[in-house]
Amino acid sequence: MLSIEDSAAMQRALSGPIDPDLKTILLDRLELLAEFLGDWDLADLALFYIVEPGDSLDVIEKTLGFSPLVNFVDGARYPDPTFEPPWEFCIARKGYFDLTFALSDVGPSFCLLVPTNGVDTALRNLCRAYATPAP
């Protein structure tokens, strides 16, 4: 799993060998945050976690500190029929699902980028079931 937890890490990721679709998503996200980045570091606004092919749900849960397959409030787990996603939004972008979690009113959001292929089946199915198309 690739973790981008501050502005320096974002610059390293963008200047290194990175999937072009992922780079586009990260640059789009930075553009959305640009008006705030003068006063804040990226770490204050958003933490980015990119699932890589072969990452297990255990790795994802340890990195995030929670499971995207479990509702924070009632503990319902996907694919339980009572499950409601714990994120603010899930957008289907080219090559990735882009999920954003606001865990509190203060502190950074968690942005989870999940490739559309090569990842845990349950996570991929969850994203496909709830994603909205990119605008």
Average pLDDT over residues 39-62: 94
pLDDT for residue 59:
96
| Residue 132's pLDDT band (cuts 50, 70, 90) | very high
Which positions ≥6 away from 93 have C-beta within 8 Å?
21, 25, 134
Q: Which of 8, 2, 98 is closest to 50 using CA atoms?
A: 2
Look at the chain and report how many structural domains it folds into. 1
Which positions ≥6 away from 61 have C-beta within 8 Å?
67
Owning domain of residue 46: 2-133
CB atoms within 10 A of CB 117: 8
pLDDT for residue 40:
87
pLDDT for residue 74:
96
Check residues 62 and 107 and name the one with the higher pLDDT: 62
- pLDDT at residue 103 above 90? no
Whole-model pTM: value is 0.94
Average pLDDT over residues 50-61: 95
- pLDDT at residue 114 above 90? yes
pLDDT for residue 104:
84
Pairing mode of beta strands 132-133, 89-93: parallel
- pLDDT at residue 36 above 90? no
